[in-house]
Amino acid sequence: MCGIAGILSLKIPQNERFHQVEKMGERIIHRGPDELNYFENDCLSMVHRRLCIIDLQTGSQPQTTTDGRYTIVYNGEVYNYLELRQQLNQKGYTFRTQSDTEVVLNAYHAFGPECLNQLIGMFAFAIWDNKEKTLFLARDPFGIKPLYYWNGPHGFYFASEIKSILAAPDYKASLDQTAYHDYLHFQFTLGNETFFKDIFKLEPAHYAMVSRQRHIKIQRYWEPNFSVDSYHTEEGFTHKLIELLTDSVRIQLRSDVPLGAYLSGGLDSSSVTVLASDLLKRGIKTFTGKFPEGVNYDESKYAKLVAEKTNSEYYETSITPKDFTESIQKIIYHLDEPVAGPGSFPQYFVSKLAKQHVKVVLGGQGGDELFGGYTRYLIGYLEECIRAAIDETIDDRPYVVTFSSILESLSSLKQYKPLLQYFWQDGLFGPLNQRYFRLTNKASNISDLFITDEIDTQKIQNRFDQLFKRKNVFSYFNAMSYFDQQTLLPALLQVEDRISMAVSMESRVPFLDRRIVELLMKIPPTIKFKNGKLKYLLLQMMRGVLPKPIIDRKDKMGFPVPLAEWLRDPHNPVHHFVMDMIHSQKFKQRGIYQTQNLEQALHENLPSMRGVWGLICVELWHRTFLDS
């Protein structure tokens, strides 16, 4: 895991360009404190900050092919590098290191951009072609590793983090209104926009070719295929999935430094922990966080069950309001942009704990988006079942679930009655795209906190539809999960990357293996969402492997933060922190908040916390990146 940055320019003098790249590298020292190296020629300067994980002795970067044509700076891990290395050996390639970096470089030399479809892992890299004088940028299929760019008046800038590009003397930071309006609606942004005007992210599963004259051509190299496999059985799919997930964990255990696992006690992280321990034939170091405010904010009893089963070294941290007030500004700095939900805050402290013991950590990110773990899927299908029952069309075609089959899953909605009330207030039985747009809408929680007059909801709906109405996605379940994989998942992976990198630690996510995703896309939705059961297939895969209380859990938590309790208590430091923020002149003059009766509006928003978190996040982002 590393940090990369660079400038392609024929206008900036080489010594000035190098000076700028030095500053860009300083901004991301946390991504790679172990080594610092540069590449320079007449039009390109690149910096590489290395966090040593594989091939500690000879894996330094940048690396150049033996013929001198290609040079790479690379961030990530390609887990099947040993297998690819053997293939390249057979084609006549020789290797000077034991690193996956050299494998990726030679794979590009051998296959060009097509090599991306052979890589299993997480990556974002830049390769300079000294013959064609072009710069090639690429990002992994799911966006696990980040890559941003800005094509300025004097040069093309790219980096692992936005803060690195902010070192460019010509760039003047300002808020991108499209991204801001997306955030107010979804709490993430659609497309390639970022909160910083004119700075874009290279989207997952895309590569860019940049000419010496800074002309950019961007192309998608992979997308899921939803052609349903109707020949195999549920049992066959389950067997193959557990086989693939086990192999994904196996190759992600490849490391030359100590390795552990995040363990919340939920289904996803528990699955990864148990499989890793079985493969290692010993316990793995595990890391858990909790809040002392009570059982609604503490999953540690479940985490301990898994740790006991696997004979793991179990480490736990208890997080306090003081931790929030002392760290949240720093966390926002590391995140680069406002994010969805306050989970990044406790994750930071669990990561700090883990870094004291390991340099690589495995996690369960991606399980919800791949296996259907969000309650809104059930809510969406409940409405469709009611519609079909009323219209007497339930027998006209094979429904993923029926009204009778979904009944046993409805107890999962017990704590989601407010969402159901909101969802059915307007548009009942409308087109599916409009219904899921409403289900993902967080704007109802912020209208009393933010000025929303300028938000063009129809424009956001149109951008949403471009993703949701994908061709050849024939089921509501696949459409919902595909949208989340393209939008919410990269947003959550941004948090995963930034928080682990903030403490100079590598985070790996075994669920996000292309082989697993491609198989899941082919499985009929009638199996994936059988009887409306969330994560049905993953539960079947892990039944008998995980402790029974983990399989039987009904209280999905997702690392909740007791912000509401803290804000209600006038003696709590978080209450003082937020009150000081909203009473400040900077806040009042910002021009984006509903400053009248704000304290009352904050109190009314506490039950959902979405709006309150968005307010804190957006204001601290302004203070961190625009005011300064």
* Residues with a known catalytic role: 2
Measured in whole angstroms, how far is the alpha carbon of residue 300 from the centre of its chain?
Answer: 24
Q: Are 550 and 265 in contact (CB under 8 A)?
A: yes
198 is in an annotated binding site: no
Dihedral sign of CA atoms 255, 257, 261, 262 in order: negative
Dist. CA 475–CA 468, nearest whole Å: 11
Task: Locate all alpha helices (DSSP H) within 281-412, ordered by sequence.
Answer: 300-310, 321-335, 344-355, 367-371, 375-391, 403-406
Q: What values do phi and psi take at 403, rounded to 5?
A: -60, -40
All residues at 6 or more sequence positions from 60 whose CB lies less than 8 Å from its CB, including other chains: 35, 37, 50
Dist. CA 124–CA 101, nearest whole Å: 11
Q: Are 403 and 388 in contact (CB under 8 A)?
A: yes
**Strand bridging mode 314-318 / 285-290:** parallel
Concatenate the DSSP letters of all residues of 287-299 into one string: EEEE-TT-GGG--
Q: Are 416 and 375 in contact (CB under 8 A)?
A: yes
List the one residue out of 480, 437, 492 whose CA is nearest residue 459.
Answer: 437
Q: What's the Cα-to-Cα distance from 552 to each of 166, 342, 408, rounded to whole Å?
A: 48, 27, 14
List the structure tokens of 374.
Answer: 């969000």
Dist. CA 43–CA 133, nearest whole Å: 9
Q: What values do phi and psi take at 43, rounded to 5?
A: -135, -5
Dist. CA 410–CA 421, nearest whole Å: 15
Measured in whole angstroms, how far is the alpha carbon of residue 553 from the centre of its chain?
Answer: 25
Task: Locate all alpha helices (DSSP H) within 139-201, ordered by sequence.
Answer: 162-165, 177-186
Which strands, in side-by-side order, build the sheet including 360-362? Answer: 314-318, 285-290, 259-262, 360-362, 506-508
List the one residue out of 141, 224, 53, 85 whose CA is nearest residue 513.
Answer: 141
The annotated binding site is made up of 100
Query: Where is the binding site for L-glutamine, in residues?
Result: 100
